[in-house]
Amino acid sequence: MIDSLPLSPKQIQSIVESKQARISCWTGAVRSGKTIASLLAFLMAVAEAPDSGLVLCVGRTLQTIERNILDPLQDRTIFGTVADHVHHTRGATTAVILGRTVHLIGASDARAEGRIRGATVYLAYVDEATLVPESFWNQLLARLSVPGARLLATTNPDSPAHWLRKKFILRAAELDLATWHFTLDDNPGLDPAYVANLKAEYVGLWYKRFIQGLWVMADGAIFDAFDETRHVVPTLPAIRRYLAAGIDYGTTNPTHAVMLGLGDDNRLYVTSEWRYDSRIQLGSLSPVEYSKRIRAWLAKQPEQPTWVVVDPAARDFREQLRADGRPTRPGNNSVIEGIRTMSSLFATDKLKIHASCTHLLDEIPGYTWDPDKALLGEDAPIKLDDHGIDASRYAIFTTRRLWRPYVLAA
Ligand SMILES: Nc1ncnc2c1ncn2[C@@H]1O[C@H](COP(=O)(O)OP(=O)(O)OP(=O)(O)O)[C@@H](O)[C@H]1O
Ligand SMILES: [Mg+2]
């Protein structure tokens, strides 16, 4: 089937062994060949599927299912002529694979469970299993009631206390579950230069999980790559474009704004900050007053930013800025992905902060993972003194499409 892609021994082993197991779980490092091995196992299972029972592909959203499952399946360089037997129209909730209708199910929240209730399922493929709600996973297992029914799943590692590890992977023997741990060495197709780049991009917690493929707890300082001597600059280079002002809005908590610029050295710079802390300054401000003061700060900047990105929860404040002639965008509040982006930028020296941003700089070393949440298998920062960080995260993560071509290509 795949002459152009000789499989690694681990890939072959997993494909063979998965035929015998009710649940198959490919875990480990990014880019380590889990998806390709599991998709081959899936294609073989689809080809042999009896008429009774549904075939499902599950992911966080329809878009991730298309990107992570259907796009590779339709790639001729990987699956040869089999790829011609995978049909899907973007946006449709079914695909036809080897003549068989496959239902595509986005399972981003607990409500997703309702979508499969009552169904009889023969085969399910789950992409990024740790990101699927536990209730959905349990319902899915209950639906796999046809004799010989199977569930195939891939995932990167998460917290050691994550339900998928504690309740399933660690109980492999009892549950008729087969699992394989992939590392970058299990993918023979990776170019050493690409591997070196990958390794530089992931740091700390993410290096352990996504490069080493380990289930490790989020523990200690979040920005552990941050180093004052490298990341704080007394002078700025020429700024090619001010991408965004990021604003974290608080009424009892401080309100913090930062300016984000793209330097002519293809690095990101937090060039300036503004902060008002009602706890230590003269009482709380109204949205009208905040809008006035922040607009005055913006007016003093060397250039106006492309976007003003605001805490998505701060509707009244956004409305006020709009009424005052400053339309805004809601910040993308995917906390963990935003933090990971910032970590990786620090690690690769692509994000620097001007020395005048003293409040933001004060927050960074103390920004830590919440140990109580970690014990429950959740990654979450302690919500304390994170206002400058949140403002920066909104600005940086929301504008990622604007800076990526410059910052990551350089
Ligand atoms: N045996 C192989 N030979 C050559 N290239 C391979 C092989 N297996 C996988 N690849 C390629 O390597 C890349 C990563 O593989 P794959 O998508 O299976 O990794 P993954 O473990 O699922 O990664 P992620 O965790 O990022 O989803 C893909 O471009 C894939 O086509
Ligand atoms: Mg994958």
pLDDT of 2 over the 80 cut: no
Residue 26: the pLDDT is 98
What is the pTM assigned to this prediction?
Answer: 0.81
Domains and CATH numbers, the chain: 9-190 (3.40.50.300), 228-407 (3.30.420.280)
Helix (H, G, I), strand (E, B) or coil at 74: coil
Q: Which atom of ligand 1 is nearest to the CA of 36?
A: 18
**What is the amino acid identity at position 223?**
F
Which of 104-113, 319-328, 361-370 has the least mean pLDDT?
104-113
Is the C-beta atom of 5 inside 6 A of ligand 1? Answer: yes
Residues with CB under 5 A from ligand 2 (ion): 35
pLDDT band (50, 70, 90) for residue 203: confident
What value does the mean pLDDT take over residues 54-72?
Answer: 97
How much of the chain, in percent, has pLDDT values that exceed 70? 99
Is the C-beta atom of 302 inside 6 A of ligand 1? Answer: no
Q: How far apart are CA 216 and CA 202, in angstroms?
A: 14
Q: Which atom of ligand 1 is nearest to the CA of 156?
A: 25
Which residue's C-alpha comes closest to atom 13 of ligand 1? Answer: 31
Q: How far apart are CA 352 and CA 350, in angstroms?
A: 7
Which residue's C-alpha comes closest to atom 14 of ligand 1? Answer: 31
Residue 4: the pLDDT is 63
Q: Report how far ligand 1's centroid is from the alpha carbon of 176 (Å).
A: 26
Q: Report how far ligand 2's centroid is from the alpha carbon of 153 (Å).
A: 10
Is the C-beta atom of 189 inside 6 A of ligand 1? Answer: yes
Q: Which residue has the tokens 């690095």?
A: 267
Q: Report how far ligand 1's centroid is from the alpha carbon of 127 (Å).
A: 14
Q: Which atom of ligand 1 is nearest to the CA of 182?
A: 21
Q: Best mutation site among 187, 211, 340 for ligand 1, i.e. most ligand atoms within 8 A of its Cβ?
A: 187
pLDDT band (50, 70, 90) for residue 200: confident
How much of the chain, in percent, has pLDDT values that exceed 90? 87
Question: Which DSSP state fits 60?
Answer: S
Q: Best mutation site among 12, 31, 70 for ligand 1, i.e. most ligand atoms within 8 A of its Cβ?
A: 31
Which of 131-135, 197-201, 233-237, 323-327 has the least mean pLDDT?
197-201
CA 353 to chain centre: 24
Q: Report how far ligand 1's centroid is from the alpha carbon of 162 (Å).
A: 24
Residue 3: the pLDDT is 56
Burial class (CB in 10 A: 0-12, 13-18, 19+), 341: middle
303-324: pLDDT as tens digits: 999 999 999 999 999 999 999 9
Q: How far apart are CA 372 and CA 204, in angstroms?
A: 19
Q: How far apart are CA 294 and CA 321, in angstroms?
A: 9
Which residue's C-alpha comes closest to atom 15 of ligand 1? Answer: 33
15-28: pLDDT as tens digits: 999 999 999 999 99
pLDDT of 410 over the 70 cut: no
Per DSSP, the residues of 257-297 read EEEEEEETTS-EEEEEEEEE-TTTTTS---HHHHHHHHHHH
Is the C-beta atom of 149 inside 6 A of ligand 1? Answer: no
What the block records as the tokens of 183 is 């590392």
Q: Report how far ligand 1's centroid is from the alpha carbon of 148 (Å).
A: 28
Q: Report how far ligand 2's centroid is from the alpha carbon of 286 (Å).
A: 48
Is the C-beta atom of 78 inside 6 A of ligand 1? Answer: yes
385-404: pLDDT as tens digits: 899 999 999 999 999 999 99
Question: Which DSSP state fits 69?
Answer: I
pLDDT of 381 over the 90 cut: yes
Is the C-beta atom of 221 inside 6 A of ligand 1? Answer: no
Q: Report how far ligand 2's centroid is from the alpha carbon of 317 (Å).
A: 40
Question: Which DSSP state fits 344?
Answer: H
76-104: pLDDT as tens digits: 999 999 999 999 999 999 999 999 999 99
What value does the mean pLDDT take over residues 352-363?
Answer: 97
Burial class (CB in 10 A: 0-12, 13-18, 19+), 233: middle
What the block records as the tokens of 244 is 């965004």
List 369's β-bridge partners, or say none. Answer: 381
Residue 398: the pLDDT is 98
Is the C-beta atom of 32 inside 6 A of ligand 1? Answer: yes
Residue 113: the pLDDT is 87
How do beta strands 121-126 and 100-106 pair? unpaired
- Which ligand is the nearest neighbour of the Cα of 186? 1
pLDDT band (50, 70, 90) for residue 204: confident
Is the C-beta atom of 188 inside 6 A of ligand 1? Answer: yes
Q: Report how far ligand 1's centroid is from the alpha carbon of 83 (Å).
A: 16
pLDDT of 223 over the 70 cut: yes
Average pLDDT taken over every residue of the chain: 94
Q: Best mutation site among 11, 36, 209 for ligand 1, i.e. most ligand atoms within 8 A of its Cβ?
A: 36
- Strand (E) or helix (H) holding 353: strand 351-354
C-beta of residue 29 within 8 angstroms of C-beta of residue 181? no
Q: Which atom of ligand 1 is nearest to the CA of 38?
A: 18
Q: How far apart are CA 259 and CA 271, in angstroms?
A: 6
Question: Which DSSP state fits 332?
Answer: P
